[in-house]
Amino acid sequence: MWHHTLRVGGLIFFIYIIIIAKPGSSLFSFHPVLMTFAFILSMTEALFIFSKNGLASGSLYSTRITMHWLVISLVAVTHGLGYAAIYYNKIVNNKPHFISWHGWIGLAASILFWIQLSLGIFAKYPKLLQRFLEAKKVKASHALYGMLIFLTGMSAMILGLWSTWFATNASLIAFYLALGLCLLLSGTIGLKFIKKHGPVLVK
């Protein structure tokens, strides 16, 4: 029930971002829409997939692995397009890059995400590292880095709530609701990781 509530909250926030951003009205308008879809909706679901509350709950483990890869691929596409939108918007408008904490934390999340995506093959085929790490630790490490990337992304999202664009276009109530959603998602993902993988990593 809690996970479904977060999903509905994320969907409502995404729709709200579409309304205030008006995608297509400018190059920048695609950035908040695509990044919200990538992190609030898609990446959250990718991390939920292996839990009993995931959309693939009850499916074979191999099916959940495939679903995870498909959703992460969707994250990669939407995130890449969202990043390209803001990058080229800066170029077109002759504005400097990375002059805010939102920009720097967002860059860190992007770099970490692409590294994790590249190394994800080891989580799918842990035998490749069996000489160095047990399969359980390989998967737990992958989950740990995934959680850290998600939390970094959420930090960038939260900082974005203080941006001039959001402050100008969003209501104060929307600000607090969005802040609460990001914090609740972060807390839920963090607790989920600790319960499932914490004991494996500390052994």
Supply the mean pLDDT for the chain.
90
Each residue's pLDDT tens digit, 106-126: 999 999 999 998 888 777 777
Predicted confidence band at 156 (pLDDT cuts at 50, 70, 90)? very high
Kindly report, residue by residue over 35-65, the tens digit of the pLDDT: 999 999 999 999 998 888 777 777 887 888 8
Distances (CA, A) of 100 to 117, 132, 184: 26, 40, 24
Q: What domains appear along the chain, each with residue ranges and CATH number?
A: 2-202 (1.20.120.1770)
pLDDT band at 201; cut points 50, 70, 90 = low
Q: pLDDT at position 54, please?
A: 77
Residues whose CB falls within 8 Å of the CB of residue 188, separated by 6 or more in sequence, listed in order = 2, 3, 6
First to last CA, the chain: 32
Q: What is the per-residue pLDDT across 3-43, written as a single tens digit (0 to 9) for each?
A: 889 999 999 999 999 999 999 999 999 999 999 999 999 99
Q: What is the largest CA-CA distance in the chain?
A: 55
pLDDT category of residue 130 using cuts at 50, 70 and 90: low
